[in-house]
Amino acid sequence: MAQPLLVKLKKSGATLHVLAPDWVAPVARRMPEVDEVIAVPFRHGAADLGGRWRLARALAKRGYDRAIVLPNSWKSALVPFLAGIPQRAGYVGELRYGLLNSTLPNSKLPMPVHYARLAGGERAQPLPQPHLEVSETEIADTRRRFGIEARYAVLCPGAEYGPAKRWPGERVVEFCRLAADKGATPVLLGAPGDTAAAGAITASVRVPSLVGRDRPALLPAVLAELDALVSGDTGVAHLAAALGTPVATLFGPTDPRLSAPRGRAAVSLTHPVPCAPCFYRACPIEHPCLRGLTATAVYARVLEVMHA
């Protein structure tokens, strides 16, 4: 979602270095606009003030003249401030007055536009499509690593955001059975935190699972050669769309107008209910927004986007 910002900065002649957590860095390295990626080990939510001070001192020696801070946290704004970078831009966020010296009020624009505004000046429309680079050699090596012999469809049933974003397990099972009946090979994909949810699915239907086995550096190669991806509103859906893979993203508590993946073969699916979007992490009423998306309806849309 931030890549249009990077494209705009690159066109202005900037040299771009991206400071990113370990789990994001492999994705940034596949963006052609990025000149260098600096991976940092900070855990989500951890202050680690000592580590941030040491990082800031290292960055100060590089002589950067501008920093653009995408997250809204005060911790993310602290490093460029301590590094003495003269221009520090971002959204107002939480308690960042003084840490940033160029701020914009928070917006309710689609996230790619929201980020692109931080480049300054007029925002170009339409925004460029996201694009990641993966070599054929990487794809072949990854297929061998995971024992994938044929083209396949992937379901990503997890969501770090919370259980309200997850397509119910019985719907995933129904989709796997339907896809298999049609001659497709469904595969489960997910982070280590999705292991329990994936186990409940594989106990009901025989389906290969890469849950917990893939790593951020391998994900793009896994996603690049899919027939299709079915996913909740997760980062994996954005990765696949940036690779040109057909993607059907299932939206429940969140708003596709803000965070839908952008790509030539990406569609967003919703089931209208009066309480959506609620942005709850856990649904108090068994999330009818996602339960209402049936396997048959999702499969039909997947076929449409594959043959569009």
Could you tell me the mean pLDDT of each successive run of 10 residues in the chain, 308 residues long? 93 94 90 95 76 93 96 91 96 86 90 91 73 90 79 73 84 92 86 85 89 77 87 91 93 93 91 92 87 94 85
List all residues 6 or more positions away from 61 whose beta carbon is below 8 Å from its beta carbon: none
Residue 126 covered by a domain: no
d(CA 68, CA 87): 8
Q: Cis omega (within 30 of 0) on the bond before 277?
A: yes
H/E stretch holding 259 reads helix 256-259
Residue 125 covered by a domain: no
DSSP 128: P
Residue 240 covered by a domain: yes
pLDDT score for 185: 83
DSSP 173: H
Domain count, the chain: 2
Residues 153, 296, single domain; the answer is yes
* 3-state SS, residue 100: strand
Residue 30 covered by a domain: yes
* 3-state SS, residue 183: coil
User: What is the per-residue DSSP string for 142-153?
Assistant: HHHHHT--S--E
Residues 142, 109, single domain; the answer is no
Residues 154, 284, single domain; the answer is yes
End-to-end CA distance of the chain: 23
Residues 156, 82, single domain; the answer is no
pLDDT score for 124: 54
Place of tokens 């699915």: 201
Residues 37, 149, single domain; the answer is no
Residues 153, 181, single domain; the answer is yes
pLDDT score for 34: 97
pLDDT score for 88: 96
d(CA 10, CA 16): 7
Residues 64, 188, single domain; the answer is no
pLDDT score for 122: 57
Q: How far is CA 307 from the centre of its chain?
A: 24
d(CA 187, CA 222): 11
* 3-state SS, residue 247: strand
**Radius of gyration for the alpha carbons in the chain, expressed in angstroms and rounded:** 20
Judge if pTM exceeds 0.75. yes
Domain ends where: 60, 89, 119? 119
Residues 89, 216, single domain; the answer is no
Residues 182, 113, single domain; the answer is no
pLDDT score for 121: 64
Structural domain for 50, as ranges = 3-119
d(CA 194, CA 263): 26
Residue 37 covered by a domain: yes
The CATH number linked to 236 is 3.40.50.2000
Residue 130 covered by a domain: no
DSSP 194: G
